[in-house]
Structure 1
Amino acid sequence: MLRFLLRLLDSRATLRRAALATLVANIGIVVTGGLVRLTGSGLGCPTWPRCTDESYVTTREMGFHGVIEFGNRTLTFLIGFIAAIALLAAWRQRRQVPGILAGAIWVLLGIGMQGVIGGITVHMELNPWIVATHFLASMVLIAIAYVFWHRTKEIPPAWTAPKAIRTGGVLITLVSAAVLVLGTIVTGSGPHSGDTRASRTGFDPAAMSQLHGDAVFVLVGLTVASWLGLRALGAPLRVTRAAATLLLVELLQGVIGFVQYFAGLPWPVVILHMLGACLVWTSTLSVLLALTPQTRGQAVEDRDHSLASTA
């Protein structure tokens, strides 16, 4: 049995799947966290790390909101378990895949830190700025998990983009991050606070939504310019496809955002918008990594791994 488990952990496929599962799980908990807020269950468990002063789990008296909030907390342990498996596989393959162990460690540490930030959010009674920090920390963790997963994939032949295109990729990433930040301010100014006791930012929701929308238009414009530039340069299909995918996800997210705003923020559409935010962010990272040139050491590592896998 032990030999079987070790062989499983030594498999590149196991590492790749565990890394992908970690990424998907971290996106999933963002969506379930949104469900907690949208159902008004943010203080369903009014304290942390316990659910009540006497119990670590929800009680019957706490009803539906307690179940929702406690269920979301429980998912943290599931994500931590998946990340622990990925860490074991990364440790076993640390020599075959240089740099992979650090990524796995950061993912697991990030999950723990997110749990602490979640606890602070509860103790601060869903202060909108702490809630925004909690969401943005998830975006950082998703970025770490995405890079971790990216390192487990077979890297195709290197293609060095011109400096202007690489700069454009960095700019797209910065604007995408700004869109996420502005989105949290819109949320903190709107009606879905997570609980009637939670405060709001005090900003005008319509004005914040306009600012957020303006940033989205800038992001879409930069993405279109990048995609056209890559096509004009004859970039590899995987690179132009990454830019095209980002553009498509941005447009779909824009449609969801308009529907969400003009329909009065129905919670199912808001949930889709949160999922869309995660997909825009991961698609942005895909473009950034596609435009990042390989180092000479990486190219040698990839060549050696390719030779070893065909031997």
Structure 2
Amino acid sequence: MSRSGPLSSDSTLRRLAAAGVVANVVLVVTGGAVRLTDSGLGCPTWPRCTAESYRTTPEMGVHGMIEFGNRMLFFVIGAIAVAGLVAALRRRPRPRGLVPLAIVAGLGIPAQAVIGGITVLSGLNPWVVGLHFLASMAVLAGAYAFWRRAAEPDVPAVPTVPGALRGLTGLLTGVSAVVLVLGTFVTGSGPHSGDHGAARNGLAPAAIAQLHADAVFLLLGLSVALWFGLRAVGADRAARAAAVLLAVELSQGVIGFVQYFTHLPIVLVAAHMLGAALVWLATLGVLWSTRERHPAVANPTTADPEPAKALAVPRS
């Protein structure tokens, strides 16, 4: 039986899923703004903003407003996630895996908030700050998966590229994750601690920055190799996704080099954090492009629909 209501249409579900992705990227950027403006302890405790109040006070000034505003964004993202879950539950027919993805994307938000609270209670311990960023990337991956699944039919996924290229894509995704982890090490060793006097992780900034750059070069090399491989087998859709990833990586690399040699100006560091989220999304885009779910088509010999046959791909 069909359902009606403001959250019952497929287009609404896709819009809510897309809004979840955008909101999580905004959260990454605003979280960076908290750190870069030394507002990490603008609310010095958690879950309250002060010992007496959940809200900021005028005496806490702009730092309190920035930190409190970032906390309030969690409620916005949470509302989007709940609405997305309701829309997924109301979808008919409902693709397999859609509701679990909506739940994962939603549960990641309170988990991320708790890690943010531990970050404050630890006095902005750099390792916890890095974990908070990586949690954001994990939640972003969940939101992206929910968005992509919301636009797919309820049929099995089929590969669109040979096994060797799927393996290369998996390796690329893993290296992209390693680049993100090393990026948090670089951040934890640098000057932008989130609050004057907050501890640093003790790693040599130049050495860890070089290791991070080496991982970035490896990621670029894998991306170029994957792009050539996808073009060679005629996987145009996946090749376009790889080209987008390369463009984002190169832009992010330019920002990274410029910020390093200009002594980490706040504007460029913020742009680099946004770039990190975009590189991760582009990586996930390549991963998704290596398989498809073909919509059902009518069988010419029967009245029943059947899934469209996948295009044959070379066996590796």
Residue correspondence of structure 1 range 73-222 to structure 2 within 5 A: 73-93=71-91, 95-154=93-152, 158-222=158-222
Normalized per residue, the structure richer in helix is 1
Question: What's the counterpart of residue 23 of structure 2?
Answer: 25
Equivalent AA in structure 2 for residue 208 of structure 1: I
The one of 35, 38, 53 aligned to 2:36: 38
Question: What's the counterpart of residue 282 of structure 1?
Answer: 281
Equivalent AA in structure 2 for residue 241 of structure 1: R
**What SS class does the counterpart of residue 53 from structure 2 fall into?**
coil
Deviations 1:252-301 (A, max 9, x none): 0000101111111111111110010000001001111112x45xxx55xx
Residue correspondence of structure 1 range 226-245 to structure 2 within 5 A: 226-235=226-235, 237-245=236-244
Question: Contact 1:40 / 1:192 at 8 angstroms: preserved in 2?
Answer: yes
Q: Tell me, in whole angstroms, the C-alpha distance in 1 between the residues paired with 2:159 and 2:51.
A: 57
Q: Tell me, in whole angstroms, the C-alpha distance in 1 between the residues paired with 2:132 and 2:228.
A: 36
Sequence identity percentage: 59
Alpha-carbon offset, residue 239 of structure 1: 1.1
Equivalent AA in structure 2 for residue 274 of structure 1: M
Equivalent AA in structure 2 for residue 60 of structure 1: P
**What SS class does the counterpart of residue 112 from structure 1 fall into?**
helix
Query: Are 2:52 and 1:59 aligned?
Result: no
Alpha-carbon offset, residue 153 of structure 1: 1.7
Question: What's the counterpart of residue 46 of structure 2?
Answer: 48
Equivalent AA in structure 2 for residue 47 of structure 1: T
Deviations 1:70-110 (A, max 9, x none): 00000100110111111110110164322111111111110
Q: Tell me, in whole angstroms, the C-alpha distance in 2 between the residues paired with 1:201 and 1:304.
A: 57
Question: What's the counterpart of residue 257 of structure 1?
Answer: 256
Question: Contact 1:125 / 1:197 at 8 angstroms: preserved in 2?
Answer: no
Q: Which runs of 5+ in 1 are unaligned?
A: none
Alpha-carbon offset, residue 304 of structure 1: 6.8
Question: Contact 1:18 / 1:86 at 8 angstroms: preserved in 2?
Answer: yes
Q: Which runs of 5+ in 2 are unaligned?
A: 299-304, 307-316
**What SS class does the counterpart of residue 214 from structure 1 fall into?**
helix
Equivalent AA in structure 2 for residue 103 of structure 1: L
Question: Contact 1:94 / 1:101 at 8 angstroms: preserved in 2?
Answer: no
Equivalent AA in structure 1 for residue 18 of structure 2: L
- Tell me which stretches of 4 or more aligned residues in structure 1 moved more than 3 Å: 154-159
Equivalent AA in structure 1 for residue 186 of structure 2: V
Alpha-carbon offset, residue 197 of structure 1: 3.3
Question: Contact 2:23 / 2:77 at 8 angstroms: preserved in 1?
Answer: yes
Equivalent AA in structure 2 for residue 146 of structure 1: Y
Question: Contact 2:88 / 2:94 at 8 angstroms: preserved in 1?
Answer: no
Question: Contact 1:121 / 1:131 at 8 angstroms: preserved in 2?
Answer: yes
Query: Are 2:292 and 1:303 aligned?
Result: no
The one of 65, 69, 72 aligned to 2:70: 72
TM-score by length of structure 2 reads 0.90
The one of 5, 12, 17 aligned to 2:10: 12
Alpha-carbon offset, residue 7 of structure 1: 3.1
TM-score by length of structure 1 reads 0.91
Task: Indicate the larger mover: 150-159 or 25-34.
Answer: 150-159
Q: Tell me, in whole angstroms, the C-alpha distance in 1 between the residues paired with 2:62 and 2:17.
A: 33
Q: What is the number of equivalent residue pairs in this alignment?
A: 297
**What SS class does the counterpart of residue 61 from structure 2 fall into?**
helix
**What SS class does the counterpart of residue 6 from structure 2 fall into?**
helix
Task: Indicate the larger mover: 102-111 or 35-44.
Answer: 102-111
Q: Tell me, in whole angstroms, the C-alpha distance in 2 between the residues paired with 1:26 and 1:259.
A: 26
**What SS class does the counterpart of residue 296 from structure 2 fall into?**
helix
Alpha-carbon offset, residue 60 of structure 1: 0.8
Alpha-carbon offset, residue 158 of structure 1: 4.8
